[in-house]
Structure 1
């Protein structure tokens, strides 16, 4: 796969993630009927749910901006981990937040080769680090 193809795929995937999570964040911030229903289901006030939307959209912006993309990846991963935990606590399905988290990490691995290298240190490099 050429670098140009890899870059194109990574930006398309990043755009899809950005659209999905931005829509979710805006829904929370604006306090739509669905958002208010979900906040009540999870035992959160509308203000707290709106704050979660702000955190979510800031994380998306950090993810999309190349210089802070890895930080954004970690923040989105943390945010989605909290969503999974909240869903589990309230006996809700976790497939959707878990799938988005996997999608975020696949995109990050494609988009940030340095992240991939750090996560897959081979044994020869590991031996050099410990000596």
Structure 2
């Protein structure tokens, strides 16, 4: 693939992830009833869920900004790791969280070839 194609693919994936995490954080920050019900199933109260939403949106902002994107990548991967553990702990499917985490890594490797070289 050409550099231009790789750059476009990286930004398309970034936008997709951005929309996904924005929706997720918005539901947590606005204290959406459905989201609060799900949080209570995990044993989280509304204040903790709000804090998780803030952490999610800050991580996403860092991921989208080119100068801080590698830090944002690491934070989002850690965030999704926590989601995977939480789902495992409550005997729920981890498929979605694993797919999102994989997509974060693929996006990071496309956007930052130097990251791929250092980690692989």
CA deviation profile, 1:42-86 (whole Å, cap 9, x unmatched): 000011001100000110110010000100000000000000000
TM-score (norm 2): 0.98
Aligned to 1:43: 43
Shift of 1:108: 0.3
Deviation at 1:119, TM superposition (A): 1.4
Match status 1:92 vs 2:110: no
Point out where structure 2 has 5 or more consecutive residues left out of the alignment. none
Gaps spanning 5+ residues in structure 1: where?
A: 121-131
RMSD, aligned CA: 0.6
Partner of 1:15: 15
Q: Equivalent residue of 1:72, what SS?
A: helix
Provide the residue aligned with 1:26 in structure 2: 26
Q: What TM-score do the two structures reach when normalised by structure 1?
A: 0.90
Moved over 4 A (4+): none
1:82 corresponding residue in structure 2: 82
Q: Which residue of 2 is the match for residue 129 of structure 1?
A: none
> What are the within-5 Å matches in structure 2 for residues 58-77 of structure 1?
58-77=58-77
